[in-house]
Structure 1
Amino acid sequence: MSLTLAKAASLLLEHHLLNEIITPQGWTLNADGITDAHASFTHITYDTRSVRKGTLLVCKGRFKPEFLDGLDDKGLAAYVSQTDYSAYTDAPGLIVTDARKALSLLSAEFYGRPQDGLTLIGITGTKGKTTTAYLTQAALNAYSGGRCALFSSVDLCLDGHDMIPSKLTTPESLDAFRMMREAVDNGMRYLVMEVSSQAYKVERVYGLTFDVGAFLNISPDHISAIEHPTFEDYLRCKRQLAYHSRALVLNADSAHADLVREDAAAANIPVTDFALRVDKGDTSTAAWQASPVDETRNTFRFTHNGDPVTELSLSLPGDFNYANALAAMALAHAAGVPCDSPAFSAMEPVKVPGRMELFGSEDSGTVAIVDYAHNYASVTSLLDFVEHRYAGRSPRITLVAGSAGNKALDRRREIVEAAQHRIARFVFTAEDTDTEPYLDICNEMLGNVTDEHVDASVIVDRVAAITDAIANAQSHDGLDVVLLIGKGDERWIKDMNRHVAYEGDDRVAERLLHASKE
């Protein structure tokens, strides 16, 4: 784990990123004549607050030159930037064409290329990434004796068993390589990670090749001025996984699956496809398939190339979770788990915090379901699950929902469109926002309700909204189902760029219904 100025310059030149090195003595491409060019950096960061003696600082994003004030005295050894900051520091500057790409390459090198010691599994898609990641980790952990790490939007696991909260779906590159190093040092042999479209758009996984990648599905999402300007841009970023994997697992039923196959063929990447088959009339040539054993859809039979592999009864309800399990099985197999391994049964007890958690009971007349559903596709899948699970009961459905501020603006309309003809009541409430007021977002969603038969109201306080929805549900005869979407088990709400403590949808539901999870 030794990175020097000379090695950094050589690496950046190799990847056609280095413009020049600027020092008080002049401009050059040859680092050998620079003082301390072969001294190892002791620290690498993109946060000026953590600079100490021997630090390599990468200036990315909305960096301001005044951030460099006083850093020479703290021991700044060199900086990497797309801009010359020699007027603000005497430290050598590696001037590059793309600071984010440079950050990823240099971070990997600083931490000794930990990815080379891991079998990397990358998962992308509009929905199902987190659940598929958890299920894949469970199978690989069972197969390897607990040696599988996890990067997910909910939790991180660097030792095969202890979970810590995550901040991003895909970590910033420096943080990812630092945690990979920790995972390798902990004896991990596998790493399962979610790969978001933003990860490719802002180069968080630049230079990284996955041993196995999975493309689960695609539908419009994350379209906004600060995410993806168009669906084409969103899909193009998702498709990059096909070019940066050694093997690809593909949902045969995904929209644009043929285009992803073309991507893989262009990159000479082998593809293994999977398909969930719920209707008896369905036919498929997909290598991996799963179908329900009976009409309850509580147990599915999994096959590979027509041969039986196993039957699973998941703790996570819903057809879509069996599709996630099928993807996980195909991924684990591509990573080396044989079809006859008992490791696949480790997926059965898996639960994902904040996803498809059921509270209350049918006998009490009120059930609450907590889930991270947040767009048209996931809300539709959730309502399909409710209709199938409670078939014959004709449940009265209430949806408690908000939408993220400043981004994914189409969700505010799509959530309403997915639900309004299938439910009895909307309660619009706070979710996360950077600068938009909660009330404005809720009122925009309210304005998208066109079905005169559905009740709709705004209660901005999220706890009050859930309390009202459950109390209203309990006042009716028959079965009421309250869907609490978007926040899951998160213990905060983002309000004007501040994280404000929040009880969590799961805890509110459990407290109000005086019941544990089903």
Structure 2
Amino acid sequence: MNTAPHLSLRHAIEVLRSAHLLHEVIVPDRTAEQTEDVEGRVMDSADLWTCDPAAVPDVEFSSITYDSRRITRDGLLFCKGGFRPEYLAGADEAGLAAYVSTTPYTTRTQAIGLIVSDDKEAMALLAAEYYGRPQDALTVIGITGTKGKTTTAYFTQAILNAATGTKCALFSSVDNCTDGRTYEESDLTTPESLDLFRMMRQAVDAGMEYLVMEVSSQAYKVKRVFGLTFDVAAFLNISPDHVSPIEHPTFEDYFWCKRQIVRNARRLVLGAGMIHGDVVAQDAAACGVPCTTFAVTADADTDTPRTQHADVTLALTHPGLPEFDYITTGTDNATASTHFDLSMPGDFNVANAAAAIAIVEAAGISKDSPALKAMEDVRISGRMELFQDSTDPNVIAYVDYAHNFASVTALLDFIYERYGSRNPRITLVTGSAGNKAADRRRGIIAAAQDRIARLVLTSEDTDTEPMRAIMDDMDSRVTNTHLIHDEIEDRTSAIESAIAGARADAKTNGRLNVILAIGKGREKWIKYHNKHVPYESDTGVIARVFAQ
């Protein structure tokens, strides 16, 4: 049943007061004579300052937004982040009813000001109220970790869709899906809180019962999930990432932000043996949050009794291949084994499968449910996607979203496990995001330079930082004198060059050539100067050239 969004001014005041966020409500009086304070600032002595909801005229907001260009008559505007006073030009003419801000703008607008101590927290709480608290109608699952979030989210959604008849929504760094079937490319790993609750309302109205979502460290850093409690939270792993002056100043800050998911969860799923996992387990114990662990073992002998490494343990049947057995013990202590063969390669995807099984069990799905097998058919475009050259069987390519030390290391581990016996010549095509996460640049080089034959540095997403500067920075970190490394700023040309080089070597030497294009996957744009510039996509370029 659809629920029309609604929120009144008085109810908004009550919510903010209850959360101890409200400083005061300012109702401007433009009929009064203006005076100046001791510092020469204009002030209106007749403006009403109050904390009493009953003292203000009630208004039913027609819309809520954090974009001043989308103000509607009787709308509510959140002045968050880098908001500038000049953004309010034309707000009164557009009919703005009220705004939420940490500072008054009484000289800029006649709208009522809700002055708060934290605009991001206020936006999250009021957005949830405006959209009718959709989280209360869903079993909400949040997944965090440095790597594996997206694949684990897709595995989890597939199982829950199979178990419920397609009633699981998904919010990921690749796609958002509010009806269990239709996928649209996403912009952020975790949406802004206002967008998050709007999409959750769409999911509820579409009949969804579950929501699986990725939760980034930034989601807690900038409070996109403030006030949201997860029915199940998963913490997969941790390694340094997103450390930069505009993201996380230190690894400790990055880890601390991710750890906030524990105190905002009813149940926790935790990767057994993860670095600093004991600290996360201690967080859970301190908050009274039950914890389930998951792990992968190389012991595939299901006939031999063995100690379980975790509450959910998967046994690899052929290391390097995405095959495993899930061994369970019933109430009569009898063991059963279910064999899985994933469509997505790599031992790390088996770990993601283990996490997904632990998550759905924590969410109430039986460990014996046939729905678990739905993981086998999951494929994610642009993630561990294999391409075969039509002109030479010794030339292949993988497209993946790997973008840091941990994910590049895992990708190369997989290549050597799968193809090492053929002594492959590996070419890596990569860039790194601009204006953030400078640690990724050195991480990618450190993970790759001693394990590949050629490095092609190219463009990736950036706001204002010059792409050439990013490539030069990465190139300066190469210390392996035997590595062929070059810079080709145009990403299409970079991939085409990698393919041409691989074909030439395969023809001359008759050996396997593997091209790894990482970072962009299937994305059909490159962010440049804060604009999305159209791009064929890594998958598109490779598919086209391989067909020629």
Alignment TM-score, normalising by the size of structure 2: 0.91
1:285 has 2:309 as partner:
yes
Residue aligning to 1:229: 249
TM-superposition CA deviations, 1:393-424 (whole Å, max 9, x none): 01011111111111110111111110111111
Distance 1:80 1:194 in 2: 28
Instruction: Quote how far apart the aligned CAs of 1:73 are.
Output: 2.2
Contact 2:26 2:49 (C-alpha < 8 Å) held by counterparts: yes
1:374 has 2:374 as partner:
no
Please say which structure displays the higher CA radius of gyration. Answer: 2
Instruction: Quote how far apart the aligned CAs of 1:5 are.
Output: 1.3
1:315 has 2:346 as partner:
no
SS at match of 1:475: helix
The structure 2 residue matched to 1:219, chosen from 239, 242, 245, is: 239
1:297 has 2:321 as partner:
yes
Distance 2:73 2:494 in 1: 51
Distance 2:454 2:361 in 1: 44
The structure 1 residue matched to 2:520, chosen from 483, 487, 502, is: 487
SS at match of 1:19: strand
Residue aligning to 1:506: 539
The structure 2 residue matched to 1:450, chosen from 439, 456, 479, is: 479
Contact 1:380 1:418 (C-alpha < 8 Å) held by counterparts: yes
Residue aligning to 2:51: 29
SS at match of 1:153: coil
Indicate the larger mover: 191-200 or 443-452.
443-452
Structure 1 unmatched runs, 5+: none
Distance 1:351 1:403 in 2: 25
Instruction: Quote how far apart the aligned CAs of 1:469 are.
Output: 0.8
Against the structure 1 CA distance between its residues 19 and 305, is the aligned structure 2 distance closer, same or farther, given a 3 Å change threshold? farther
The structure 2 residue matched to 1:198, chosen from 209, 213, 218, is: 218
SS at match of 2:265: coil
Instruction: Quote how far apart the aligned CAs of 1:16 are.
Output: 0.7
Counterpart AA for 2:524: R
Between the aligned residues of both structures, percent identity stands at 57
Contact 2:427 2:453 (C-alpha < 8 Å) held by counterparts: yes
Against the structure 1 CA distance between its residues 83 and 295, is the aligned structure 2 distance closer, same or farther, given a 3 Å change threshold? closer
Instruction: Quote how far apart the aligned CAs of 1:227 are.
Output: 0.7
TM-superposition CA deviations, 1:134-167 (whole Å, max 9, x none): 1100000000000000000110101110101111
Structure 2 unmatched runs, 5+: 29-46
Distance 1:343 1:279 in 2: 25
Residue aligning to 1:430: 459
Residue aligning to 1:339: 367
Counterpart AA for 2:465: E
Residue aligning to 2:42: none
Contact 1:151 1:193 (C-alpha < 8 Å) held by counterparts: yes
TM-superposition CA deviations, 1:105-143 (whole Å, max 9, x none): 000000100000000000001111111111100000000
SS at match of 1:410: helix
The structure 1 residue matched to 2:11, chosen from 1, 7, 14, is: 7
1:392 has 2:421 as partner:
yes
Contact 2:300 2:325 (C-alpha < 8 Å) held by counterparts: no
Residue aligning to 2:33: none
Distance 2:410 2:176 in 1: 26
Instruction: Quote how far apart the aligned CAs of 1:295 are.
Output: 4.9
Indicate the larger mover: 422-431 or 62-71.
62-71
Instruction: Quote how far apart the aligned CAs of 1:42 are.
Output: 1.4
Instruction: Quote how far apart the aligned CAs of 1:361 are.
Output: 6.0
Contact 1:309 1:339 (C-alpha < 8 Å) held by counterparts: no
Counterpart AA for 1:489: R
Counterpart AA for 2:515: V
Residue aligning to 1:152: 172
Distance 2:201 2:12 in 1: 19
Counterpart AA for 1:325: A
TM-superposition CA deviations, 1:306-334 (whole Å, max 9, x none): 84452210110000001111111111111
Instruction: Quote how far apart the aligned CAs of 1:279 are.
Output: 5.5
Contact 2:320 2:414 (C-alpha < 8 Å) held by counterparts: no
Contact 1:360 1:514 (C-alpha < 8 Å) held by counterparts: no
Structure 1 segment 446-485 matched on structure 2, within 5 A: 446-476=475-505, 477-485=510-518
Residue aligning to 2:36: none
Distance 2:299 2:501 in 1: 36
Structure 1 segment 21-420 matched on structure 2, within 5 A: 21-24=25-28, 25-35=47-57, 37=58, 39-278=59-298, 284-295=308-319, 297-304=321-328, 307-308=335-336, 310-360=338-388, 364-420=393-449
Contact 2:233 2:262 (C-alpha < 8 Å) held by counterparts: yes
Distance 2:122 2:327 in 1: 44
Distance 2:103 2:115 in 1: 6
Instruction: Quote how far apart the aligned CAs of 1:48 are.
Output: 0.9
Distance 1:323 1:45 in 2: 39
TM-superposition CA deviations, 1:51-74 (whole Å, max 9, x none): 111111111011111212221222
SS at match of 2:97: strand
Give the alignment's Cα RMSD to 1 decimal: 1.6
Distance 2:241 2:328 in 1: 32
Distance 2:134 2:128 in 1: 7
Distance 1:168 1:188 in 2: 22
Q: Aligned pair count?
A: 513
TM-superposition CA deviations, 1:259-282 (whole Å, max 9, x none): 000111111100000011126799
Contact 2:344 2:378 (C-alpha < 8 Å) held by counterparts: yes
SS at match of 1:21: strand
Counterpart AA for 2:433: A
1:497 has 2:530 as partner:
yes
Indicate the larger mover: 382-391 or 64-73.
64-73
